[in-house]
Amino acid sequence: MSKYTEDDLREELKTKEYEYGFFTDIKSETFPIGLNEDIVKAISKKKDEPQWMTDWRLEAFKAWKEMTEPEWANVHYKKPDFQSIAYYSAPVAIDPNKTLDDVDPDLLAMYKKLGISVDEQKKMNNVAMDIVVDSVSVATTFKKTLAEKGIIFMSISEAIKEHPELVKKYIGTIVPIKDNFYAALNSAVFSDGSFCYIPKGVKCPMELSTYFRINQGGTGQFERTLLVADEGSYVSYLEGCTAPSRDENQLHAAVVELIALDDAEIKYSTVQNWYPGNSEGKGGVYNFVTKRGLCEKNAKISWTQVETGSAVTWKYPSCILKGDNSVGEFYSIAVTNNYQQADTGTKMIHLGKNTKSTIISKGVSAGKSQNSYRGLVQIGPRADNARNFSQCDSLLMGNDCGAHTFPYIEAKNKTAKIEHEATTSKIGEDQIFYCNQRGIDTEKAIALIVNGFSKEVLNKLPMEFAVEARKLLEISLEGSVG
């Protein structure tokens, strides 16, 4: 038997297509391409929204028209033509009174392929699912159990109708419609997403989970998530994504707003695995996301993300530490391979006294990819005794990839304590040989080393998610040995 070299491995893996790359042919009702006031109105009408929501969208659209795309990120791509995208697509014939049995069998088969069959989830995982296929929620489970605790967990379209007072009070307060180009666009055309409200003092008894999925070719996906944890409540929210492969680039511009009122705690975990494009850098999702949370007094928001997908990522889950003694955390693993580009990090805005933030960012770059950490730690003048600890580690594989760190620190209060640590390392031939000598093949060795590197972040994920995340890391880095 001849030696199985790195070149063989690389060659073999080149043909390995994206695992979740399939397309389910569900009849969709899609709007004509392009964006104007009429389309915005039509989306709102389609969803049977109240006038205030329509007006809000139109205001956002007006703002968006005046804005230009941000260009400061360390990413290079062909800008999407916003007039060649269809802004609304929904699987047809959705009846909210339907049970799972009535759901399109093709759709159910697709869930199965993804390993997220709702039935299975119901039985095994004790996870309430609000599944979003393209733009409309088609199945919601565990609603009853949650309702008993007074927890509201539904699609944002439903919430706009059923709980307008809550949505109206909070939407756009953390990410204003004029916040940035993509947030404005999202505000104008958001299709659906999730809404969650945890009442005072309630600890949500289960992890809330949403699977997003882009399905229709050429359809932009604009999710809107609003999560409110009332005083003294707790919730852990999971968000996971896979998308079928596409040749043309797909735009994904989500907005997530979190509100943690006094003494509340929100854990928000994401595993992101949008289609990254093929090994030549063709196709793949553009992921331009705005995620931000507000902490009132003694509140805590913890963002954990595992980012392995997308061709281009632009994402900075942030915390505004407004209340005294509030805590913000950001734990991130971003893996890029082939021609992927990621510019991701966080903003920790310390406004209250004794506020604390922790940033642990792990970037793994392979192939010809570029991976950037961009983070802002800002200490306001009133934020006495604010503390931040940041750690940014980069792991490189091969000689053609890049790792970049852009930390910004602005302290306007002399009592602030800010620490920043950064390391860059490379997976060495010696490490690989050491593992090989113990009987561990090269692919497994890389998975082991990367998992070790990412451990501090993986440990922050809920159990089921951590397992999935480990698998994702392995899949994402196959064939990346340098």
Partner 1 sequence: MLKINNLHASIGDKAILKGINLEVKPGEVHAIMGPNGSGKSTLASVIAGKEEYEVTEGSILLENEDIEELAAEERAHKGVFLSFQYPVEIPGVSVTNFIKTAINATRKAKGLDDMPAKDMLKMIRDKSELLEIDRKFLSRSLNEGFSGGEKKRNEIFQMAMLEPKLAILDETDSGLDIDALRIVSNGVNKLKSKDNAVIVITHYQRLLDYIVPDFVHVLLNGKIVKSGGKELAHELEAKGYDWIKEEVNA
Q: Which residues bind partner 1 (CB under 8 A)?
A: 1-5, 428-431, 433-442, 444, 448-449, 451-456
CB of 466 to partner 1, least distance (A): 14
Name the residue nearer to partner 1 (CB basis): 288 or 453.
453
Which residue do the tokens 């309702």 mark? Answer: 147
CB of 3 to partner 1, least distance (A): 6
Identify whether the C-beta of residue 108 lies closer than 8 Å to the C-beta of residue 117: yes
CB of 5 to partner 1, least distance (A): 8
Identify whether the C-beta of residue 243 lies closer than 8 Å to the C-beta of residue 219: no
CB of 20 to partner 1, least distance (A): 26
Which residue do the tokens 């009174």 mark? Answer: 97
Name the residue nearer to partner 1 (CB basis): 184 or 333.
333
Name the residue nearer to partner 1 (CB basis): 377 or 458.
458
Name the residue nearer to partner 1 (CB basis): 163 or 470.
470
Identify whether the C-beta of residue 282 lies closer than 8 Å to the C-beta of residue 250: no
Alpha helices in 47-155 (DSSP H): 51-66, 105-113, 118-120, 143-148
Name the residue nearer to partner 1 (CB basis): 96 or 452.
452
287: Cα separation from own chain's centroid: 9
Name the residue nearer to partner 1 (CB basis): 32 or 428.
428
The Cα–Cα gap between 364 and 405 comes to 12
Q: How crowded is residue 474: how many other Cβ atoms within 10 Å of its Cβ?
A: 17
Q: Which two tokens stand for residue 104?
A: 């399109």
Name the residue nearer to partner 1 (CB basis): 5 or 84.
5
* Residue 177 parent element (H or E): none
The phi, psi pair for 461, rounded to 5°, reads -80, 150
Name the residue nearer to partner 1 (CB basis): 284 or 479.
479
What's the chain's Rg over C-alpha atoms? 22
CB of 125 to partner 1, least distance (A): 23
Angle at 261 between CA 259 and CA 265, to 5 degrees: 80
CB of 421 to partner 1, least distance (A): 14
Coil, helix or strand for 410?
strand
Q: Which two tokens stand for residue 81?
A: 């033509």
Sign of CA dihedral 32, 34, 37, 39: positive
